[in-house]
Structure 1
Amino acid sequence: MRSSSKVKIDPSKYELVPKHEVLSVEEAYKVLKELGIRPEQLPWIRASDPIAKMIGAKPGDIIKITRKSPLSGEAVVYRYVISG
């Protein structure tokens, strides 16, 4: 019979999971101004997402995701954190 204790898995340790970081208010403002959009217009990520929870993202935050790209070296995308 298996133990009922849950094993904590750190998703950031997997090579397929790109780097995630919460932007400061100043950085977020700069990104939104450069893109000419409101935060809600970014693709969303739920605050309950394992990576969002791990980096301490809260609803209203903007997360910068940096992926390795075979064409450009790296690709940066942004996500708006929503509740849930």
Structure 2
Amino acid sequence: MTSADFRASHFLVPKHEILAKTKKEEVLSSLGIDEGKLPKIKLHDPQVKLLGAKEGDIIKIIRNDPTKENVYYRLVVK
């Protein structure tokens, strides 16, 4: 296991995944916003690098807490 794999699988690091193009439109319409209104995440963020995301991709972040699962979305920017 490389150090990058270890960081990605650490229990304090929430799960990150790139949203598929079809899912992207669905999420934006359900939130009633365009992608420019999403919170941003930098292209050089370690998790973004590990995923191989590109500028303009939307990252789905899944955080688990003791009571429920929370989902957040971030737009990848330079």
Q: Which runs of 5+ in 2 are unaligned?
A: none
- Shift in Å at residue 9 of structure 1? 2.4
RMSD: 1.0
Residue 68 of structure 1: CA displacement? 0.4
TM, length-normalised to structure 2 = 0.90
For 1:32-47, list aligned pairs within 5 A.
32-47=28-43
Residue 17 of structure 2 corresponds to 21
Name the counterpart of 1:60: 56
Dislocated runs of 4+, deviation >6 Å: none
Equivalence for 1:81: 76
* Structure with the greater alpha carbon radius of gyration: 1
Give the unaligned 5+ runs of structure 1: 1-7
**Residue 51 of structure 1 aligns with which residue?**
47
